[in-house]
Protein backbone atom coordinates (compact mmCIF):
# COMPACT_ATOMS: atom_id res chain seq x y z
CA UNK A 1 0.00 0.00 0.00
CA UNK A 2 -0.20 2.19 -2.05
CA UNK A 3 -0.75 -0.34 -4.86
CA UNK A 4 -1.27 0.09 -8.59
CA UNK A 5 -4.64 1.93 -8.39
CA UNK A 6 -3.36 4.41 -5.81
CA UNK A 7 -0.09 5.09 -7.64
CA UNK A 8 -1.92 5.38 -10.97
CA UNK A 9 -4.35 7.84 -9.40
CA UNK A 10 -1.48 10.03 -8.21
CA UNK A 11 0.19 9.71 -11.60
CA UNK A 12 -3.01 10.80 -13.39
CA UNK A 13 -3.47 13.79 -11.10
CA UNK A 14 0.12 14.99 -11.06
CA UNK A 15 0.29 14.62 -14.83
CA UNK A 16 -2.20 17.49 -15.00
CA UNK A 17 -0.76 19.48 -12.10
CA UNK A 18 3.02 19.61 -12.46
CA UNK A 19 3.99 18.79 -16.06
CA UNK A 20 5.59 21.82 -17.69
CA UNK A 21 6.70 23.36 -14.39
CA UNK A 22 10.27 23.77 -13.21
CA UNK A 23 11.68 22.55 -9.92
CA UNK A 24 12.85 25.72 -8.19
CA UNK A 25 13.99 24.22 -4.90
CA UNK A 26 13.99 20.96 -2.97
CA UNK A 27 14.01 20.69 0.81
CA UNK A 28 15.20 17.33 2.13
CA UNK A 29 14.35 16.67 5.76
CA UNK A 30 15.18 12.95 5.74
CA UNK A 31 18.35 12.38 3.67
CA UNK A 32 18.15 8.56 3.86
CA UNK A 33 15.13 8.58 1.55
CA UNK A 34 17.21 9.99 -1.31
CA UNK A 35 19.37 7.19 -2.67
CA UNK A 36 22.22 9.38 -3.90
CA UNK A 37 24.28 12.30 -2.53
CA UNK A 38 22.01 15.27 -1.85
CA UNK A 39 24.29 17.70 -3.68
CA UNK A 40 24.06 15.59 -6.82
CA UNK A 41 20.30 15.19 -6.42
CA UNK A 42 19.75 18.92 -6.17
CA UNK A 43 22.25 19.75 -8.92
CA UNK A 44 20.46 17.51 -11.39
CA UNK A 45 16.83 18.06 -10.36
CA UNK A 46 16.68 21.75 -9.41
CA UNK A 47 16.17 24.01 -12.40
CA UNK A 48 14.90 21.25 -14.66
CA UNK A 49 11.40 21.13 -16.12
CA UNK A 50 9.05 18.23 -15.44
CA UNK A 51 8.22 16.82 -18.87
CA UNK A 52 6.13 13.80 -17.88
CA UNK A 53 4.72 11.74 -15.02
CA UNK A 54 4.65 7.98 -15.51
CA UNK A 55 4.27 4.78 -13.56
CA UNK A 56 5.87 1.33 -13.61
CA UNK A 57 4.35 -1.15 -11.14
CA UNK A 58 4.23 0.84 -7.87
CA UNK A 59 6.93 3.33 -8.89
CA UNK A 60 6.24 6.91 -10.03
CA UNK A 61 8.49 8.33 -12.74
CA UNK A 62 9.00 12.07 -13.16
CA UNK A 63 10.68 12.65 -16.50
CA UNK A 64 12.89 15.74 -16.47
CA UNK A 65 13.91 18.03 -19.33
CA UNK A 66 17.63 17.32 -18.80
CA UNK A 67 17.52 13.62 -19.64
CA UNK A 68 17.09 12.34 -16.09
CA UNK A 69 14.09 10.85 -14.29
CA UNK A 70 13.13 11.00 -10.61
CA UNK A 71 11.84 7.64 -9.42
CA UNK A 72 9.66 7.70 -6.32
CA UNK A 73 8.50 4.58 -4.49
CA UNK A 74 5.89 5.28 -1.80
CA UNK A 75 6.25 1.81 -0.23
CA UNK A 76 3.87 1.27 2.75
CA UNK A 77 2.85 4.76 3.82
CA UNK A 78 4.22 7.34 1.42
CA UNK A 79 2.12 10.20 0.06
CA UNK A 80 2.64 12.91 -2.55
CA UNK A 81 0.37 15.90 -1.93
CA UNK A 82 0.19 18.93 -4.22
CA UNK A 83 -0.72 22.42 -3.03
CA UNK A 84 -1.10 25.58 -5.11
CA UNK A 85 0.76 28.74 -4.13
CA UNK A 86 -2.38 30.32 -2.71
CA UNK A 87 -3.53 27.15 -0.94
CA UNK A 88 -3.13 27.03 2.83
CA UNK A 89 -1.29 24.05 4.27
CA UNK A 90 -3.39 21.35 5.87
CA UNK A 91 -2.59 18.91 8.65
CA UNK A 92 -1.69 16.13 6.20
CA UNK A 93 0.88 18.45 4.57
CA UNK A 94 2.71 19.02 7.83
CA UNK A 95 3.08 15.46 9.11
CA UNK A 96 6.13 13.34 8.36
CA UNK A 97 7.36 15.61 5.57
CA UNK A 98 10.67 14.34 4.25
CA UNK A 99 10.90 16.09 0.88
CA UNK A 100 9.27 19.25 -0.41
CA UNK A 101 9.49 20.21 -4.07
CA UNK A 102 8.96 23.94 -4.72
CA UNK A 103 7.87 24.63 -8.29
CA UNK A 104 8.44 27.82 -10.25
CA UNK A 105 4.80 28.95 -10.04
CA UNK A 106 4.87 28.81 -6.23
CA UNK A 107 3.10 25.47 -5.94
CA UNK A 108 4.56 22.73 -3.76
CA UNK A 109 4.69 18.95 -3.75
CA UNK A 110 4.99 17.32 -0.32
CA UNK A 111 6.45 13.81 0.01
CA UNK A 112 5.61 12.51 3.45
CA UNK A 113 6.00 9.02 4.84
CA UNK A 114 5.19 7.89 8.38
CA UNK A 115 7.08 4.58 8.19
CA UNK A 116 9.98 5.96 6.14
CA UNK A 117 10.34 2.93 3.84
CA UNK A 118 9.93 4.93 0.63
CA UNK A 119 12.75 6.17 -1.56
CA UNK A 120 13.70 8.61 -4.31
CA UNK A 121 16.25 7.75 -7.00
CA UNK A 122 17.66 9.53 -10.05
CA UNK A 123 18.07 7.44 -13.19
CA UNK A 124 19.08 8.62 -16.65
CA UNK A 125 15.88 8.42 -18.69
CA UNK A 126 17.58 6.46 -21.44
CA UNK A 127 18.55 3.79 -18.91
CA UNK A 128 15.09 3.28 -17.36
CA UNK A 129 14.46 0.08 -19.29
CA UNK A 130 17.74 -1.35 -18.02
CA UNK A 131 16.85 -0.31 -14.46
CA UNK A 132 13.45 -1.98 -14.55
CA UNK A 133 14.94 -5.06 -16.19
CA UNK A 134 17.33 -5.40 -13.25
CA UNK A 135 14.35 -5.02 -10.90
CA UNK A 136 12.76 -7.90 -12.85
CA UNK A 137 9.30 -6.34 -12.66
CA UNK A 138 6.46 -8.37 -14.09
CA UNK A 139 4.05 -7.15 -16.79
CA UNK A 140 1.55 -4.35 -16.28
CA UNK A 141 -1.81 -6.06 -15.64
CA UNK A 142 -3.95 -3.28 -17.12
CA UNK A 143 -2.10 -3.11 -20.42
CA UNK A 144 -4.19 -4.33 -23.35
CA UNK A 145 -1.40 -6.66 -24.44
CA UNK A 146 -1.49 -8.50 -21.09
CA UNK A 147 -3.64 -11.43 -22.17
CA UNK A 148 -5.08 -14.51 -20.50
CA UNK A 149 -2.44 -16.51 -22.37
CA UNK A 150 0.31 -14.34 -20.88
CA UNK A 151 -1.14 -14.77 -17.39
CA UNK A 152 -1.41 -18.54 -17.80
CA UNK A 153 2.18 -18.76 -19.01
CA UNK A 154 3.44 -16.77 -16.01
CA UNK A 155 1.53 -19.02 -13.64
CA UNK A 156 3.12 -22.14 -15.12
CA UNK A 157 6.58 -20.90 -14.12
CA UNK A 158 5.80 -21.39 -10.43
CA UNK A 159 3.38 -24.33 -10.12
CA UNK A 160 4.00 -24.85 -6.40
CA UNK A 161 3.55 -21.20 -5.40
CA UNK A 162 0.50 -20.16 -3.40
CA UNK A 163 -1.71 -17.92 -5.49
CA UNK A 164 -1.97 -15.09 -2.93
CA UNK A 165 1.81 -14.77 -2.65
CA UNK A 166 2.20 -15.15 -6.40
CA UNK A 167 -0.08 -12.21 -7.14
CA UNK A 168 1.78 -9.95 -4.69
CA UNK A 169 5.24 -10.78 -6.06
CA UNK A 170 6.22 -7.80 -8.26
CA UNK A 171 8.41 -10.04 -10.39
CA UNK A 172 5.31 -11.94 -11.50
CA UNK A 173 2.87 -9.06 -12.04
CA UNK A 174 3.55 -5.38 -11.40
CA UNK A 175 1.43 -3.39 -8.99
CA UNK A 176 -0.75 -5.85 -7.05
CA UNK A 177 -0.41 -5.91 -3.26
CA UNK A 178 -2.25 -7.11 -0.20
CA UNK A 179 -5.55 -5.30 -0.69
CA UNK A 180 -6.24 -6.15 -4.29
CA UNK A 181 -4.93 -9.71 -4.18
CA UNK A 182 -7.53 -10.38 -1.45
CA UNK A 183 -10.30 -8.77 -3.47
CA UNK A 184 -9.32 -10.48 -6.73
CA UNK A 185 -9.26 -13.94 -5.16
CA UNK A 186 -12.59 -13.39 -3.41
CA UNK A 187 -14.23 -12.31 -6.66
CA UNK A 188 -12.70 -15.34 -8.40
CA UNK A 189 -13.82 -17.64 -5.51
CA UNK A 190 -10.27 -18.98 -5.05
CA UNK A 191 -8.73 -19.90 -1.68
CA UNK A 192 -5.62 -17.73 -1.07
CA UNK A 193 -3.39 -20.69 -0.13
CA UNK A 194 -4.33 -22.72 -3.20
CA UNK A 195 -1.24 -23.82 -5.11
CA UNK A 196 -1.05 -22.75 -8.73
CA UNK A 197 -0.76 -26.33 -9.97
CA UNK A 198 -4.15 -27.07 -8.40
CA UNK A 199 -6.00 -24.20 -10.10
CA UNK A 200 -8.65 -25.19 -12.62
CA UNK A 201 -8.67 -23.46 -16.03
CA UNK A 202 -11.91 -21.70 -15.11
CA UNK A 203 -10.30 -20.39 -11.92
CA UNK A 204 -7.29 -19.09 -13.83
CA UNK A 205 -9.65 -17.27 -16.19
CA UNK A 206 -11.68 -15.86 -13.29
CA UNK A 207 -8.54 -14.56 -11.56
CA UNK A 208 -7.33 -12.95 -14.78
CA UNK A 209 -10.67 -11.29 -15.49
CA UNK A 210 -10.94 -9.96 -11.96
CA UNK A 211 -7.40 -8.57 -12.03
CA UNK A 212 -8.51 -6.43 -14.96
CA UNK A 213 -11.94 -5.60 -13.52
CA UNK A 214 -11.05 -4.77 -9.92
CA UNK A 215 -7.89 -2.80 -10.65
CA UNK A 216 -9.73 -0.77 -13.29
CA UNK A 217 -12.63 -0.03 -10.93
CA UNK A 218 -10.22 1.00 -8.17
CA UNK A 219 -8.43 3.42 -10.51
CA UNK A 220 -11.77 4.99 -11.47
CA UNK A 221 -12.59 5.45 -7.77
CA UNK A 222 -9.12 6.88 -7.06
CA UNK A 223 -7.89 4.04 -4.87
CA UNK A 224 -8.49 2.65 -1.40
CA UNK A 225 -7.80 4.62 1.78
CA UNK A 226 -7.65 1.59 4.06
CA UNK A 227 -4.58 2.99 5.83
CA UNK A 228 -2.72 6.27 5.28
CA UNK A 229 -3.23 6.66 1.54
CA UNK A 230 -4.36 10.04 0.21
CA UNK A 231 -4.40 11.17 -3.40
CA UNK A 232 -2.42 14.12 -4.76
CA UNK A 233 -5.08 16.53 -3.48
CA UNK A 234 -4.93 15.06 0.03
CA UNK A 235 -8.25 13.27 -0.40
CA UNK A 236 -9.21 9.70 0.42
CA UNK A 237 -9.96 7.21 -2.34
CA UNK A 238 -13.50 5.93 -2.79
CA UNK A 239 -12.86 2.20 -3.29
CA UNK A 240 -12.92 1.46 0.45
CA UNK A 241 -16.68 0.95 0.41
CA UNK A 242 -16.29 -1.66 -2.36
CA UNK A 243 -14.01 -3.96 -0.35
CA UNK A 244 -15.54 -7.39 0.16
CA UNK A 245 -12.92 -9.12 2.33
CA UNK A 246 -9.82 -6.99 2.96
CA UNK A 247 -9.92 -5.55 6.48
CA UNK A 248 -13.27 -7.24 7.21
CA UNK A 249 -12.12 -10.04 9.52
CA UNK A 250 -14.99 -11.09 11.81
CA UNK A 251 -17.65 -9.44 9.63
CA UNK A 252 -20.26 -11.23 7.53
CA UNK A 253 -19.54 -12.11 3.92
CA UNK A 254 -21.55 -9.88 1.59
CA UNK A 255 -22.51 -12.93 -0.48
CA UNK A 256 -23.13 -15.86 1.87
CA UNK A 257 -23.13 -14.27 5.37
CA UNK A 258 -20.30 -16.53 6.57
CA UNK A 259 -17.70 -14.83 8.79
CA UNK A 260 -14.67 -13.40 7.01
CA UNK A 261 -11.43 -14.89 8.30
CA UNK A 262 -7.79 -13.82 8.20
CA UNK A 263 -4.68 -15.97 8.01
CA UNK A 264 -0.95 -15.28 7.90
CA UNK A 265 1.00 -16.09 4.77
CA UNK A 266 4.63 -15.14 4.25
CA UNK A 267 4.50 -12.41 6.87
CA UNK A 268 1.37 -10.87 5.32
CA UNK A 269 -2.34 -11.31 5.96
CA UNK A 270 -4.93 -12.87 3.68
CA UNK A 271 -8.62 -12.10 4.19
CA UNK A 272 -11.12 -14.56 2.73
CA UNK A 273 -14.55 -16.13 3.05
CA UNK A 274 -14.23 -19.79 4.16
CA UNK A 275 -17.46 -20.66 2.33
CA UNK A 276 -17.07 -18.77 -0.94
CA UNK A 277 -13.35 -19.61 -1.25
CA UNK A 278 -13.19 -23.24 -0.25
CA UNK A 279 -10.46 -25.51 -1.60
**89-to-95, 187, 221, 223 alpha-carbon distances in Å:** 11, 40, 25, 23
Question: Is 2 a residue of the active site?
Answer: yes
Question: Is 43 a residue of the active site?
Answer: no
Q: Which of 3, 6, 140, 183 is catalytic?
A: 3
Q: Which of 2, 5, 141, 192 is catalytic?
A: 2
Question: Is 162 a residue of the active site?
Answer: no
Q: Which of 11, 55, 58, 222 is catalytic?
A: 58
Q: Which of 51, 162, 235, 268 is catalytic?
A: 268
Question: Is 3 a residue of the active site?
Answer: yes
Catalytic residue annotation: 2-3, 58, 268
Amino acid sequence: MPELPEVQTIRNQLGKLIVGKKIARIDVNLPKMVKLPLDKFRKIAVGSKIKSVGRRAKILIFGLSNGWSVLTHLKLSGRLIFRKKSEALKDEDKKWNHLVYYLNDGSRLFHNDLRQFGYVKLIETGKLNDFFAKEKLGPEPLEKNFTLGDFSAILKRKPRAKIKQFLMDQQNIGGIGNIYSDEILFAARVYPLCKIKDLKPTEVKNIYQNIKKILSEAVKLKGTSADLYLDAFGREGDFLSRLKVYGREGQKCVKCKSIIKRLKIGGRSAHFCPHCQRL
